[in-house]
Amino acid sequence: MNKRHLLLGLVIGVTFIGGILTGVIFTNNNEKQDRPNTQILEDAPKSAIKPNSKELPKLKKASSKVLIGYVQDFRDPNMVDYSKLTHVIFSFVHPTKDGGILFNGDPALKNLRAVVKNAKKHDTKVMLAIGGWYHIKGGESYNYFKPAISDPKSRAKLVKELTNIAVRENLDGIDIDFEHPRSTEDAQNLSAFAKELSAQLHPKKKELSIAVYSKIHAVTLTEVAFIQYDPSMFKTVDHVNIMAYDGQYDGSYNAANLSPYPYTEKIVNYWTNLFETQKLSKEKLVLGVPSYATPEDPKIKQVSFAAIINNNPANAGKDTVQMNGTTYHYNGGVTMIKKTRLALDHGFGGMMMWEVGLDAQGSHSLTGTIFTELKASGKEPVKYYTAKGY
């Protein structure tokens, strides 16, 4: 062994012994220190006692139904009874063929903002309806709505416009009122529009509802085939507001067919069967009722339920009244109670009214009558302010 090998051996030996001494010193010092809590938990002896595991208590959601009221854009926002409504749907914003939207002037936008302000005081949601029967530029909205949702570019623009206004105006959602899809193509385009709008609104915790035709002919009480819907569309919306009224226009004009109870029964049965067959939640279904009266003489204008009560409060519970030289047909308080029970018995999610601006004030209010019946049934409207989203 030469000197170089001897020197290398000494270096290795010193390094080995130094490492052992360092480890001993570190271990002795470390044992004097408190160990972290996680180490104590890991080293702690296991208890011989095994506690029983307990499940967290399940909170039962309050039984609740919606009570939705449409209000037209020219109404005084202060006349709405927000305290009893879960939703107010402001009607209407009008579609343009290229996917834009139009308000009925600055007064309409001003009223919308007033409705939002008033509704928030009562935790009532405010939604904006697009469409309706008539268009701001004249004629049916169908002629503007159809091209807007038929082309992918204009449809995407309309979705963006509605989403932006819902965010900007602090709305709780959008209501689609396309009257009405008259072909398979229409149904598919409406479904695509609803799905695209849902994809934008729900992540923002905003709701989407859709108004639908009753699908039942008021005279024959059979299904109307020329109005078509894609059932898959209903998976993407929160509420399906059934317009179970205006049956007076089916066949020859007959005011008595506005919305009689047998007609409503057929409508409820139709939508119940459809949703059960499609395995859709019937809680989405909302039964619509009218708050206006139709005259037997078509040359005379319709009147509000408020006008009937102002003329004679004794007519509050009836369904016909003699006024202005003609007979008017409407739904009084007794019929409203029966219809509310009908909807509840079929598992519907609540009631809707067109429109609250036509309702009477005070003790004869139809809004109040429906609210009281929902409450008496144990389904009092509870205002869950945040949309659950889908």
DSSP conformation letters of 280-292: --GGGEEEEEE-E
pLDDT tens digits, 180-224: 999 999 999 999 999 999 999 999 999 999 999 999 999 999 999
Q: What is the mean pLDDT of residues 6-24?
A: 40
Give the number of other CB atoms < 10 A from CB of residue 193.
Answer: 24
Angle at which helices 261-277 and 333-345 cross, to 10°: 20
Q: What angle do CA 122, 124, 127 make, to 5 degrees?
A: 150
E runs forming strands in 171-238: 173-178, 207-213
Write the CATH number of the domain with boundaries 66-293+330-376.
3.20.20.80
Q: What is the mean pLDDT of residues 285-308?
A: 97
Radius of gyration of the chain (CA): 32
Cβ–Cβ under 8 Å, residues 112 and 162 = no
* Residue scoring higher pLDDT (141 or 17): 141
Mean pLDDT lowest among 50-54, 322-326, 348-352? 50-54
Question: 324, exposed or middle or buried, with CB in 10 Å at 0-12, 13-18, 19+?
Answer: middle
In this prediction the pTM is: 0.83
pLDDT tens digits, 19-77: 433 443 333 444 443 333 333 233 333 334 444 444 544 444 445 899 999 999 999 99
- Residue type for 340, please? T
Does residue 350 have a pLDDT over 50?
A: yes
Which residue in 164, 232, 226, 244 sits closest to 193, CA to CA? 232
Instruction: Enumerate the domain spans of the chain.
Output: 66-293+330-376
Number of residues written out for the chain:
390
Question: What is the pLDDT at residue 28?
Answer: 43
Cβ–Cβ under 8 Å, residues 280 and 234 = yes
